[in-house]
Chain A
């Protein structure tokens, strides 16, 4: 890639920092150049987030249908799988899977709910009511 071809399409990262990349100058020598983003990868990221949004919406519907507990919604929201959530909370994976059932979740102690809330970086009441605050 030549230095004057380094793309400058403003990405959400580009608003915070420019990325360093290596490109060749007119004599073919490699120099460091800064890029504020590239349309091709901005769209790639959009595709990934589009899929995540779909999964979050699907999880929300499952919770409303009483097919899963609020945990499922926040797991999708925080891009976590059972293994990651077990890691953050210290629960076993089988426990997390059990807590995904609405009837089990409804009986969880405050202590356990607090562990989940901390893992998701939210408040216990928001966990129960499936409320999100942008952060």
Chain B
């Protein structure tokens, strides 16, 4: 059982999987940055009530599953998506798909993912990979963040497809229906709608936990962390933020670079809308997130740690919020040419 599939490495698991699964339908045109942007992937949220590894939940991207569904829908590609109560049925369905020549996306947990180094294994259940063939008891796996493909036996695959905890995948499998064709016109429309959605998510979600107001609010909170949490816990929180921002699967700079790359590509589809100029603002935002990360590292390494240092850390986020607000307002005000 072998399907027609080519592994291409990506920066982020879900947009990488999306791009690779749509590769045939789009004749390779849906690159990873395009999938990320059309899927309105860029985000910020700070949810102190949800604890991950004893730290606050901080996200720089949208909810898991959102990018694939949105991208496929915007491009007019019908999607087949299933979850399972039974492990046997989940495997049988996977086998049927492969038999029919469909490489499929699977949501998995990374804790028991055998090819990941131990240091990177947490109970994070929203990782995505593609299974593209079966050989005996082994499944051939294309994980977009890895340079090469991997092999997992049926027990190993079952274990990660049925990982437990928050966002448990329940054998979630998804793939585009074969035979659809993506035209340049569809791509143009999808880019516009992806930008519009992302503008809404960053500028208009009510409350102070998400989008630009979420960044601003987090900046203000960080200034109080030292007094409120104590230095040790503040270090843990900052380290957690940097990991969510920079770790494997983000493309660096809290996904801002991948979004900047998207706008640059979008500019070639929709010239005359200043998308390339606005892209530069997102590059600056990514650079500033990284500068902030270097400062945070000074604190969690214990090199610095005064209240002034925490104030400076908070100010970085306030500055980023202003920059991103400006960038998204420019996107919002585009009169499409």
Asked, given contacts A22-B257, A22-B261, A84-B123, whether A44 binds B252 with beta carbons under 8 Å apart, the answer is no
Please name all residues of chain A whose beta carbon is closer than 8 Å to the beta carbon of B261 when the two chains form the complex: 22, 30
Asked, given contacts A16-B117, A21-B251, A47-B300, whether A41 binds B145 with beta carbons under 8 Å apart, the answer is no
Closest residue on chain B to residue A34 by CB atoms: B147
Residue contact B236 to A47, C-beta cutoff 8 Å: yes
Q: Which residues of B294-314 have CB atoms within 8 Å of chain A's CB atoms?
A: 294, 296-297, 300-301
Please name all residues of chain A whose beta carbon is closer than 8 Å to the beta carbon of B117 when the two chains form the complex: 12-13, 15-16
Chain A residues with a Cβ closer than 8 Å to the other chain, count? 42
Asked, given contacts A1-B253, A1-B257, whether A12 binds B120 with beta carbons under 8 Å apart, the answer is yes
Closest residue on chain B to residue A90 by CB atoms: B164
Q: Which residues of A15-55 have CB atoms within 8 Å of chain B's CB atoms?
A: 15-24, 28-30, 32, 34-35, 38-41, 43-45, 47-49, 51-52
Residue contact B119 to A49, C-beta cutoff 8 Å: yes
Residue B122 is within 8 A (CB to CB) of chain A in the complex? yes
Please name all residues of chain B whose beta carbon is closer than 8 Å to the beta carbon of A39 when the two chains form the complex: 297
Please name all residues of chain A whose beta carbon is closer than 8 Å to the beta carbon of B247 when the two chains form the complex: 41, 44-45
Please name all residues of chain B whose beta carbon is closer than 8 Å to the beta carbon of A86 when the two chains form the complex: 164
Asked, given contacts A51-B54, A88-B164, whether A24 binds B283 with beta carbons under 8 Å apart, the answer is yes
Closest residue on chain A to residue B260 by CB atoms: A30
Chain B residues with a Cβ closer than 8 Å to the other chain, count? 53
Q: Which residues of B128-179 have CB atoms within 8 Å of chain A's CB atoms?
A: 145-148, 164-166, 168
Residue B211 is within 8 A (CB to CB) of chain A in the complex? no
Residue contact B120 to A1, C-beta cutoff 8 Å: no
Residue contact A43 to B120, C-beta cutoff 8 Å: no
How many angstroms from the CA of A23 to the CA of B287 in the assembled complex? 11
Residue B258 is within 8 A (CB to CB) of chain A in the complex? yes
Please name all residues of chain B whose beta carbon is closer than 8 Å to the beta carbon of A47 when the two chains form the complex: 235-236, 239, 300
Residue contact A38 to B246, C-beta cutoff 8 Å: yes
How many angstroms from the CA of A79 to the CA of B109 in the assembled complex? 13
Residue contact A84 to B164, C-beta cutoff 8 Å: yes
Residue contact A21 to B11, C-beta cutoff 8 Å: yes
How many angstroms from the CA of A27 to the CA of B52 in the assembled complex? 40
Residue contact A79 to B283, C-beta cutoff 8 Å: no
Closest residue on chain A to residue B258 by CB atoms: A22
How many angstroms from the CA of A110 to the CA of B63 in the assembled complex? 41
Residue A80 is within 8 A (CB to CB) of chain B in the complex? yes
Please name all residues of chain B whose beta carbon is closer than 8 Å to the beta carbon of A44 when the two chains form the complex: 239-240, 242-243, 246-247, 296-297, 300
Asked, given contacts A17-B145, A44-B243, A44-B297, whether A87 binds B165 with beta carbons under 8 Å apart, the answer is yes
Residue A66 is within 8 A (CB to CB) of chain B in the complex? no
- The minimal Cβ–Cβ distance linking B166 to chain A, given in whole angstroms, is 8
Q: Which residues of A54-82 have CB atoms within 8 Å of chain B's CB atoms?
A: 78-81
How many angstroms from the CA of A29 to the CA of B283 in the assembled complex? 11
Residue interface mask B231-262, A partner, CB < 8 A = 1: 00001100110110011100111000110110
Residue contact A12 to B300, C-beta cutoff 8 Å: no
Residue contact B252 to A22, C-beta cutoff 8 Å: yes
Q: Which B positions have Cβ atoms within 8 angstroms of A? A: 9-11, 33, 53-54, 111-112, 115, 117-120, 122-123, 145-148, 164-166, 168, 235-236, 239-240, 242-243, 246-248, 251-253, 257-258, 260-261, 264-265, 279-280, 283, 286-287, 290, 293-294, 296-297, 300-301
Chosen A-B contacts, 22 in total, with CB atoms closer than 8 Å, are A1-B253, A17-B147, A17-B148, A20-B11, A21-B251, A22-B260, A22-B261, A30-B264, A32-B11, A38-B246, A39-B297, A40-B294, A40-B297, A41-B242, A41-B293, A44-B242, A44-B243, A44-B300, A48-B236, A48-B243, A49-B119, A78-B111
Q: A41-B243, A45-B119 are in contact. List 17 more A-B contacts (CB 8 A).
A: A1-B286, A13-B119, A16-B117, A17-B145, A17-B146, A18-B147, A20-B145, A30-B260, A40-B242, A40-B290, A43-B300, A45-B243, A47-B236, A52-B53, A78-B111, A80-B165, A83-B165
